[in-house]
Amino acid sequence: MLTFLCELSWPVQAALVVLLCFAALKIYSVLIKGVCRSPNRLDGKTVIITGANTGIGKETALDLAKRGARVLLACRDVSKASTAKDDIVRLSGNANVEIRHLDLASLSSVRKFATGILESESRLDVLINNAGCAGYAKRELTEDGLEYQMQANYFGHFLLTNLLLGLLKKSAPSRVINVSSIAHVWAKELDFNNLNSEKSYDPSNIYNTSKLCQVLSTRHLAPLVINSGVTVNCLHPGCVETGIFQRAPLWLVIPAYIFVKLIFKDWKEGAQTSIHLAVSNEGSRTTGQYFSDCKVDKMSTYATDEGVAKKLWESSELLVKLEAKERHY
């Protein structure tokens, strides 16, 4: 066999080495991936999942619907959400699934959504801040004057969590789950004078920064509500095959697609840690932590800086114009 390989041309040898590396990575990822093994049901519980019309959000919604939860799909694209709802109801046998319009890139939409929830829902047991976007090559601003990725990934969820925190506390024990990413580890230290890329835009860092902010806000909120029965955790879903880079330039999309198909988790596998935090006993007694593969994992050292977390929280309050009456901590 070795003789045969040696007789091959070097391009073929190189290709075989690459394929073997991919195979080894795939086997390794399968062996270490976490699976939610909790049998707990959610009958009588209400869950909100942002970005639940596709990807890991949809798989999370399906699993929780199967467990008997009332599931609210908080989505920007109502048409796609309608298709997702039909699938979830059909596969779960649970008709208690609703669609609520939510555009995280619009603070007025977030406020309208939250008002609707407070008017229609008597309880909220789990809030899963799952929606996200990435891959914007150029700086884009929302109608609120905030950088698009920062608002869709972080500021919108920050405001939403604060607006619903009173209901979460009223419904305690309850849970806030922020879907972050291992990308937070690669983020540069925050420049509080450039949170919205006012001075400069770094397309390679903006997504990482938004995910770092999710971890930092998790760390800051958890102790503020620690005696209220609300737990707050964040997670890395793993390297998951999603449409998150659909706005990326073609040169990035093509190699990413090939790599994703070979190595990444599928949607169901990527949803496991979100599901674990939503239903497991550990999710009700652990707070302020970063999870990966259904277990507590190590976050970046910078993400544990309480001073940075506090300054980010205060800056975020100003940027989303959070009023005193909206602060439930």
pLDDT reading at 4 higher than 80: no
pLDDT reading at 22 higher than 70: no
pLDDT reading at 84 higher than 80: yes
* C-alpha distance from residue 177 to each of 43, 161, 283, 295 (Å): 19, 10, 9, 14
pLDDT of residue 265: 79
pLDDT of residue 29: 57
Mean pLDDT within 75-83: 97
pLDDT of residue 53: 97
pLDDT, tens digit, 9 for 90 and up, residues 289-321: 999 999 999 999 999 999 999 999 999 999 999
pLDDT reading at 192 higher than 60: yes
Q: What is the CATH class of 42-323?
A: alpha beta
pLDDT, tens digit, 9 for 90 and up, residues 165-178: 999 999 999 999 99
pLDDT of residue 17: 73
Q: Of 218, 131, 124, which Cα lies nearest the Cα of 172? A: 124
* C-alpha distance from residue 112 to each of 54, 109, 160, 185 (Å): 23, 5, 10, 33
Mean pLDDT within 51-66: 97
Mean pLDDT within 269-275: 97
The pTM of the whole model exceeds 0.95: no
pLDDT of residue 30: 59
SS3 of 265, please? strand
Phi, psi of 53 (to 5 degrees): -85, -10
DSSP label at 205? T
The mean pLDDT value of the chain amounts to 91
- Residue ranges covered by each domain of the chain: 42-323
Identify the band that residue 10 occupies on the pLDDT scale cut at 50, 70 and 90. Answer: low
pLDDT reading at 28 higher than 70: no
Q: Which two tokens stand for residue 318?
A: 């100003």
Confirm if 45 and 126 have CB atoms less than 8 A apart: yes
* Residue 305: other Cβ atoms inside 10 A: 16
Q: Which residues are the active-site residues?
A: 207
pLDDT, tens digit, 9 for 90 and up, residues 90-129: 999 999 999 999 999 999 999 999 999 999 999 999 999 9
pLDDT reading at 15 higher than 70: no
In this structure, the strands spanning 174-179 and 70-75 are unpaired
* C-alpha distance from residue 85 to each of 46, 65, 173, 238 (Å): 16, 10, 27, 25
